[in-house]
Structure 1
Amino acid sequence: MAGRRDFLKLGAVPVAVSAIGTRALGAADDRVAASQEAACGQPLLEWPRGIENQRKADLGDGRFLNPILAGDYPDPSVLKDGDDYYMTHSSFDNAPGLLIWHSRDLVNWRPLKPALEKPLGTGFAVDIAKHDGRYFIYIPFMRAPWSKGLADFANTFVIHAPSMEGPWSEPIDMRIGGLIDPGHVVGEDGHRYLFFNGGKRVRLSADGLSTSGSIEDAYTAWKYPDDWITEAYAPEGPKLFRRGEWFYLVNAVGGTAGPATGHMIVAARSRSINGPWENCPHNPIQRTRTAAERWWSRGHATCVEGPDGRWFMVYHGFENGYQSLGRQTLLEPIEWTADGWFRAVGGDLSKPLRKPGGRAVPHGLPHSSSFAKADMGRLWSLYATAPDEADRASRLERGAVVLRGKGKSPADGTVLTQQVGDRAFEVTVELELIGESEGGLLLFFNDRLFLGMGIDGKRMVSYRGGKVSHWPEPAPPSRRMHMRIVNDHQIVTFYYSPDGKAWTRHGVRSQVTGYNANTIDDLLSLRPGLFAAGDGEVRFRDFRYRAL
């Protein structure tokens, strides 16, 4: 079949799921691949494999296959700094947040460290800038359930550092309310500006840490025909750069989720930072045109010059059939035209593209964890935990993490999560209850949508659809348990074992395609999570991840 032939073309080896326990999971076969091809309307291409068999973009032959970062890495902001590239993404309610990534070829990325130790709210759609040898990240925070003193909609803060590896300052309130998606630029007048959603702009002080004027209208984003199928007009995500005599302003319109054909990339230009701005005559620069394409809702682009002098857009999109993985980071070449505009030349991104040159850094990071200090923020993040609770919510022991219980379930408990980007994977962990607690292993989207298993010393509690399931799984009463979750192309199976040797398959399987942003109206992803509820604590050891 076409999908299996494409595996061979790209030099990848399909990996079968091994049988586990007393009720074995059947190995993935051609029927699974065929169903995925039917869903996407095109043959499957497979990726080369990196750490722990995770997929990666670099094909090893001078080409790459999107995504460059698999998993929920949305709203990418990219800074070119000499031969180095730095990138960060929306981290929302995760603490620590704003993980910084480093690359020298725009395809292979290594994680450095988080820039934001304790978020002040839901942080998203940031912008990275360098000015006079110092680094800045501009962050809009929306009010989180635990926050106090922030505007209901959003306030913009800034952090700064002498290096992209830090140390980063504490967040500074810029007193800019009601706007999102800042984009930093230095005008021909030498002044610094932030542009925002809806065509707004404000001038900054020379040090970039406060405003030096009032918010003003600066431009009007291109409007698509009214009969196009989109989520909403929603002009957002302005990213600005200067090339030659022109300033270019790259915007997203159409809404970031909703219909597959909604989100799109548009551009405008001006010879002055003060306008007037003219819209590109061949807008949109990029857009998903049909639901049969591999990547949906493509938008929120940063334009950057590659190591070989060619230019590229870095943006996000949903993977057809795998919206549960969130908005993944994509790379597309652009070409400059004789009239000074640029065009996207990567097509629907379903095929390999020529790499931008440069030198590859080691890509990615292991997802298996011994719960060392370096794992926190790079791999693991606390979900929706107030800054004053973060230090008490978890503690590290030798080879373990202990989560302090709260609430009654994963919906209001302490939850520790990590991002993953594989279409099929398994995760395993050992847990032990301390005091009057409940703990377990999840696939977690948010506090309203998750599935998994928990134990309280008396019984096993099953969760599906963000609530306790009716299913009475006859697991033996225990205060210690090994748990495993297998997500095999959106089919999720639970396993448990008292000793980590003899495994029992949980009696219910789940189909999780619907665990996505359009179902729950929250721009996150379905990812592995550990939780602790109740008045006690839960100790977790030996977390293992394997892509299938």
Structure 2
Amino acid sequence: MPWISDQGDGTFANPVLHADYSDPDVIRVGEDFYMTASSFSHIPGLPILHSKDLVNWKLINHAIPRMDLPGYELPQHGNGVWAPAIRYHAGKYWIFYGDPDVGIFMTTADDPAGEWSPLHLVQEGKGFIDPCPFWDDDGQAYLVHAYANSRAGIKHVLRMRRMSPDGAKLLDEGDLVFDGSGNHPTTEGPKLYKRNGYYYIFAPAGGVATGWQLILRSRSIFGPFEEKIVLHQGDLSINGPHQGGWVELASGESWFLHFQDKGAYGRIVHLQPVRWVDDWPLMGVDTNGDGIGEPVLRYPKPNVGREYPAVAPFTSDSFDAPAFGLQWQWQANPEPAWSSLSDAPGRLRLYAHPMPPSAKSLYQAPQLLLQKFPAEAFEAAATIDASGLAPGDRAGLIVFGYSYALIEIQKQTGGAWSLLYAEGNEETERTVWEAPLSSSEAVLRVTVKEGAICTFSCRTEGSTFLKIPVMPFSARESRWVGAKVGLFALRPGGTVNAGGYIDTDSFRVAAVTDDE
């Protein structure tokens, strides 16, 4: 089951989302809060989450249903949508993000839960990342961004540029307004705000897993900027803490959402109280007296005027809806021939297709249907009917990252069924264990425990779950993202006959039962 932050007693426990929502940014519009996050090359992309209290979040949309750029018929691990910024201006919602290989993109919507405009290329160029727009009181518009050293050969610096008020283009080269190479290496992820006559840039520095929150302020948008560290790990276990966004409540409270890099679990989302002292935002609680805040582990919930029920993004799926649940993402732009929710009503049908000729393993397979790890410990179980597979086809349940593990049903040439457990990585895959299977129908399950330690098991009709007799698998992150869990169906490359399919009417995510 997903992690629940709301403790039910007026407090919350960090993280507010124990799921991989990297580089979160947040806004308040009236009584509603909206968040977006990096999605890299996973499709659909640019998630939109909604909350009434900053603690309980629901995934309501994706701004990018399909990536209309060359190459997205294949996985583009680590590329694509980096560090978006979401804003509300002139009666509509705006998201800007950087694609390190293409440039700065923008999309808008009248309703964040509705259709977003096609992506517009604001500024072409390699290495532009982490853009944040800002509309000043006089109507002038600006954009601040960082650089990806891997593409631009530039690091640690932030650039401020003038922007057309419609957000369609940048008007000049702007100025470098901060260079952190001396005291604040890897300054990135800037978010631009204005309060009490000061312009503020909130930016993480020091690296994803080891850094701190830096605040820059100036009376002029082009600086010079004063600097102050306002949040760091200190003596606590919450490493980072990294990139995020500030929001002010109607009650006058201020809060900061940011991520923590948690290895295989990805970049999970934390919420920190913010108090203003001498026009500096001080985050978290200074637990060790060093003058810098540390992340809170448990804290009173934001004062939004009332209590709201505990919610979390969906995980389980019975496939009764006409469209995929928002928790699901493909590894590339999906093809209609990969799946159907209507060919067998009430079931998901995954068709077995070959991997691309260039693929060495499932790491390069685009047709994996995956979702984020939703908690530190959980079980994911899929009810699989593999009777529609053709000889040689394989399909099942996978835990995916730089290395992956899977449990699958395979149709043999003679018509028999086999159950296999395999492990792989970017270069290869090997079968670790294999046994005959008495039926083409089974429940395939993975149990994930603290530390992302995974064990796989299987149950056929009338039996209990039987653990696969192999060493537990340690899940791993992939490029900039956490491990994922989901389904696949594959046809061996070079075969003449058409591939078959599997049906599933249940993908269940629940608490660990320890019934193995």
Calculate the TM-score normalised by the size of structure 1. Answer: 0.78
What SS does structure 2 have at the residue aligned with 1:411? helix
Which residue of the partner structure matches residue 317 of structure 1? 260
Evaluate the alpha carbon distance shift between residue 533 and residue 73 of structure 1 in structure 2; reply closer, same or farther with a 3 A threshold.
same
Q: CA deviation at 1:271?
A: 1.3
1:220 aligns with 2:172: no
Q: Is the 8 Å Cα contact of residues 457 and 468 (structure 2) preserved in structure 1?
A: yes
- Rounded to whole Å, the distance in 2 between the matches of 1:156 and 1:374 is 34
- Rounded to whole Å, the distance in 1 between the matches of 2:220 and 2:434 is 66
- Rounded to whole Å, the distance in 2 between the matches of 1:221 and 1:372 is 53
Which residue of the partner structure matches residue 492 of structure 1? 454
Which residue of the partner structure matches residue 16 of structure 1? none
What SS does structure 2 have at the residue aligned with 1:57? coil
Q: Is the 8 Å Cα contact of residues 19 and 268 (structure 2) preserved in structure 1?
A: yes
Which residue of the partner structure matches residue 411 of structure 1? 363
Which residue of the partner structure matches residue 42 of structure 1? none
1:352-404 per-position Cα deviation (integer Å, ceiling 9, x unaligned):
11211114255214421112447635111112x13xx4433322132222234
Alignment counterpart, residue 402 of structure 1, candidates 349, 354, 366: 349
- Rounded to whole Å, the distance in 1 between the matches of 2:462 and 2:261 is 36
Q: Is the 8 Å Cα contact of residues 394 and 401 (structure 1) preserved in structure 2?
A: yes
Evaluate the alpha carbon distance shift between residue 500 and residue 286 of structure 1 in structure 2; reply closer, same or farther with a 3 A threshold.
farther
Which residue of the partner structure matches residue 380 of structure 2? 427
Q: CA deviation at 1:477?
A: 6.8
1:343 aligns with 2:282: yes
- Rounded to whole Å, the distance in 2 between the matches of 1:543 and 1:70 is 20
Evaluate the alpha carbon distance shift between residue 424 and residue 345 of structure 1 in structure 2; reply closer, same or farther with a 3 A threshold.
closer
Which residue of the partner structure matches residue 185 of structure 1? 134
What SS does structure 1 have at the residue aligned with 2:194? strand
Q: CA deviation at 1:411?
A: 2.5
Number of aligned residues: 456
Q: Is the 8 Å Cα contact of residues 301 and 315 (structure 1) preserved in structure 2?
A: yes
Alignment counterpart, residue 89 of structure 2, candidates 97, 110, 131: 131
What SS does structure 2 have at the residue aligned with 1:295? coil
1:199-245 per-position Cα deviation (integer Å, ceiling 9, x unaligned):
1233222211223x13333311445649xxxxxx2221110111111
Q: Is the 8 Å Cα contact of residues 204 and 243 (structure 2) preserved in structure 1?
A: yes
Alignment counterpart, residue 109 of structure 1, candidates 31, 54, 57: 57
- Rounded to whole Å, the distance in 2 between the matches of 1:201 and 1:361 is 41
- Rounded to whole Å, the distance in 2 between the matches of 1:428 and 1:301 is 33
Evaluate the alpha carbon distance shift between residue 444 and residue 184 of structure 1 in structure 2; reply closer, same or farther with a 3 A threshold.
same
Q: CA deviation at 1:133?
A: 0.6
Q: CA deviation at 1:337?
A: 0.9
What SS does structure 2 have at the residue aligned with 1:524? coil
Within 5 Å, give how 1:86-97 maps onto structure 2.
86-97=34-45
1:439 aligns with 2:395: yes
Evaluate the alpha carbon distance shift between residue 530 and residue 219 of structure 1 in structure 2; reply closer, same or farther with a 3 A threshold.
same
What SS does structure 2 have at the residue aligned with 1:86? strand
Which residue of the partner structure matches residue 474 of structure 1? 435
Which residue of the partner structure matches residue 542 of structure 1? 506
Q: Is the 8 Å Cα contact of residues 154 and 180 (structure 1) preserved in structure 2?
A: no
Which residue of the partner structure matches residue 268 of structure 2? 328
Percent identity (aligned): 27
Q: CA deviation at 1:95?
A: 1.2
Which residue of the partner structure matches residue 526 of structure 1? 483
- Rounded to whole Å, the distance in 1 between the matches of 2:87 and 2:8 is 31
1:423-460 per-position Cα deviation (integer Å, ceiling 9, x unaligned):
21111112224335211101112xx4211112221333
Q: CA deviation at 1:115?
A: 1.5
Alignment counterpart, residue 267 of structure 1, candidates 207, 215, 228: 215
Q: Which residue identity does 1:182 align to in structure 2?
A: P
What SS does structure 2 have at the residue aligned with 1:91? coil
Q: CA deviation at 1:125?
A: 0.5
Evaluate the alpha carbon distance shift between residue 538 and residue 202 of structure 1 in structure 2; reply closer, same or farther with a 3 A threshold.
farther
Q: Which residue identity does 1:434 align to in structure 2?
A: L
- Rounded to whole Å, the distance in 2 between the matches of 1:500 and 1:367 is 26
What SS does structure 2 have at the residue aligned with 1:90? coil
Q: CA deviation at 1:181?
A: 0.6
- Rounded to whole Å, the distance in 2 between the matches of 1:374 and 1:73 is 26
What SS does structure 1 have at the residue aligned with 2:54? coil
Which residue of the partner structure matches residue 163 of structure 2? 204
What SS does structure 1 have at the residue aligned with 2:336? helix
- When structure 1 is superposed on structure 2, of 202-211 and 343-352 the one drifting more is 343-352
Which residue of the partner structure matches residue 7 of structure 1? none
Q: Which residue identity does 1:533 align to in structure 2?
A: L
Q: Which residue identity does 1:451 align to in structure 2?
A: A
Unpaired segments ≥5 residues, structure 2:
73-79, 147-156, 286-292, 413-417, 492-497
Evaluate the alpha carbon distance shift between residue 348 and residue 509 of structure 1 in structure 2; reply closer, same or farther with a 3 A threshold.
farther
Q: CA deviation at 1:306?
A: 2.8
Evaluate the alpha carbon distance shift between residue 538 and residue 203 of structure 1 in structure 2; reply closer, same or farther with a 3 A threshold.
farther
